[in-house]
Amino acid sequence: MVLNIFPRREKPAALPAPELERTLPEPSVEALDGDGAKKTTRRGTRGGRGRRKPAAELAEATSESPEAAETPEPEPAAPKAPAARRSRAPKAAAPVEAEPEPVPAPEVTAAPAPRRSAARKAEPASSASQADLSALIKVVEAQGKQLEQIARAQEELVRRAPGAPGAALARVGVFVDAANVELAIDRLRTRVDWRKVLNLISEGRSIVRAIAYSPVHDDPGVSIETQRFAEPFLGKGYKVVTKPLKRFADGTIKANVDIEMACDIIEMLDRLDVVCLVSGDGDFQRLVEVIQAKGIRVEVLAVGSSTAASLRNAADQFVDLQGIIQKVKA
């Protein structure tokens, strides 16, 4: 038998729940019709409760409900501080069983391979240096030749300088137009010793060649000693070059030796320093200019009254036989 030693408490009677008065907001004047009746709103088929109201209606609803206007906006939540990253401890590596060391094979020393890349790189550099060296050698050789030419020119100037100590004597070539100068001397009614003339020309200088060009009789039986223009130069240190006279049908006689003189002078220019032209013929003006263009001095010796002005002006020096006639008179 179970004895109930604890008295049972009686449950209190349940009180009736108080009725909550439901207060509804009074309808606004705008929601009523003109006669005070409540305006019924028709809910359309589009949307429903989830339909978004336009901005104008939303503003009106906000102004109508003072509770919504007074409700303060929620403050933005403060940004949470980033949580500290937990540092993970590195996992302990699993123990690796040691493999048995392999037995080393005997070393074989091979010969070092030639460095082809370095040699190939050195080839263009060496070829470029060789090209520069060859160009430099050519420049030096050209400069050496120029210096040799300058030295020879200086020696030539010293040798040609009259009266210079140790200077070589100037080389002179004497070329005589015998017919031209003998006819001019005949007008002076005198005779000239052509050896004295040659000695006067060669004072302080060296005579390389003295040539007299003379026309002779066209008869080969006539001896040269009896020739009018050749006889004064025989045995006086001159070489006599003759040319036979030419007789024309009208009876005129011509013996021009200008071509022979010009050819001989041009051929001997490389061995002469001074050309002495004994003639007053103006046809030799161009010959004088050619000789001077070679750097050779030209002296003209003739009778002043029978010498062309063009030849006298072209010469480097003109000597009038009439002025020295007393020194060279026969």
Residues 58-78 pLDDT 10s: 555 555 544 444 455 555 555
pLDDT in tens, 124-166: 666 778 888 888 898 999 999 899 889 888 877 766 665 555 5
- State pTM to two decimals: 0.51
- Confidence class of residue 263 from pLDDT cuts 50, 70 and 90? very high
Q: What is the mean pLDDT of residues 226-251?
A: 86
Q: How far is CA 137 from the centre of its chain?
A: 21
Is the distance from CB of 222 to CB of 251 less than 8 angstroms? no
Domain-by-domain residue ranges, the chain?
Answer: 134-166, 170-328
The amino acid that residue 300 corresponds to is V
- The pLDDT, as a whole number, for residue 177 is 94
Tell me which of 68-82, 206-220, 248-262 is least confident: 68-82
Torsions phi, psi for 274 (to 5 deg)? -140, 135
- Of the candidates 306, 263, 296, 172, the one whose C-alpha atom is nearest the C-alpha of residue 315 is 296
Cα→Cα distances 67→63, 72, 199, 258, Å = 9, 10, 153, 146
The DSSP element (H or E) to which 184 belongs, if any, is helix 178-187
- Over residues 302-316, the mean pLDDT reads 94
Nearest to 213 by CA among 258, 171, 152: 258
Between 33-42, 193-202, 225-234, the lowest mean confidence (pLDDT) is in 33-42
* Ordered DSSP codes for 56-76: HHHHHHHHH-HHHHHSPPPPP
Q: Indicate whether 89 pLDDT > 90.
A: no
Confidence of residue 202 (pLDDT cuts 50, 70, 90): very high
Higher pLDDT, 119 or 304: 304
Predicted local confidence at residue 129, as pLDDT: 82
pLDDT higher than threshold 80 for residue 265: yes
Angle between helical axes of 285-293 and 258-267 (0-180°, round to 10): 0
Q: Which of the two residues, 129 and 284, has the higher pLDDT score? A: 284
- Kindly give the pairing relationship between strand 253-254 and strand 246-247: antiparallel
Domain 170-328 belongs in CATH node 1.25.40.10: no
Report percent pLDDT > 90 for the chain: 37
Confidence of residue 50 (pLDDT cuts 50, 70, 90): low
266: pLDDT strictly greater than 70: yes
**Range with the poorest average pLDDT among 4-8, 68-72, 92-96:** 68-72
Question: Alpha-carbon distance 323 to 165, whole Å?
Answer: 31
Counting every residue written for the chain, the total comes to 330
In sequence order, what are the residues at sequence separation of 6 or more whose Cβ sits closer than 8 angstroms to the Cβ of residue 69? 62, 63
Number of C-beta neighbours around residue 58 at 10 A = 11
Helix (H) or strand (E) holding 152: helix 116-160
